[in-house]
Structure 1
Amino acid sequence: MSSIELESVITCPECGTATRETMPTNACQWFYECSACHAVLKPLPGDCCVYCSYGTVKCPPIQQGSSCCSGGV
């Protein structure tokens, strides 16, 4: 079994700021506020969390091949 990556770089679609974040392993993150422009990001349709939509690495449950929480927003 391969290891799970816990860090992902989220890129804001509004201003392009990229920020390295540590993903939670026990919950989905449905909202993320950009540190530069303060836009509040939500998962795109079909994605479970902001990491799956805007991150360089999918969230830990998706990496493990299971579903993530309850489908987000």
Structure 2
Amino acid sequence: MQLESTLTCPKCGFQATEQMPVDACQFFYVCRGCGEKLKPKPGDCCVFCSYGSVPCPPVQEDGGHKCCS
């Protein structure tokens, strides 16, 4: 299981590598480049699944099929 993911801001392209929580989803993230408040895309459970290089741990555990609850 990978616990780090690189988030890419869709507004400015800034990238930041962040630690992901293992037992919860992160619904919001404020870009350190432009200050944009990122929210998950429709159908995604968290910002890591929408904008990260690696999906969140709950999705990794279930082979990409399970959303956080």
Query: Structure 1-normalised TM-score?
Result: 0.87
Larger Rg: 1
Number of equivalences: 67
Query: Could you tell me how far apart the structure 1 residues matched to 2:68 and 2:50 are?
Result: 15
Deviations 1:21-63 (A, max 9, x none): 0100121100000011000000001100000000000000100
Gaps of 5+ in 2: none
Matched, 1:35 2:35: no
The separation in 2 between residues aligned to 1:26 and 1:46, in whole angstroms, is: 19
Q: Which runs of 5+ in 1 are unaligned?
A: none
1:51 match = 48
Q: Which runs of 4+ in 1 moved over 2 A?
A: 66-70
Give the percent of matched residue pairs that are identical in Structure 1 and Structure 2.
58
Give TM-score, length-normalised by structure 2.
Answer: 0.91
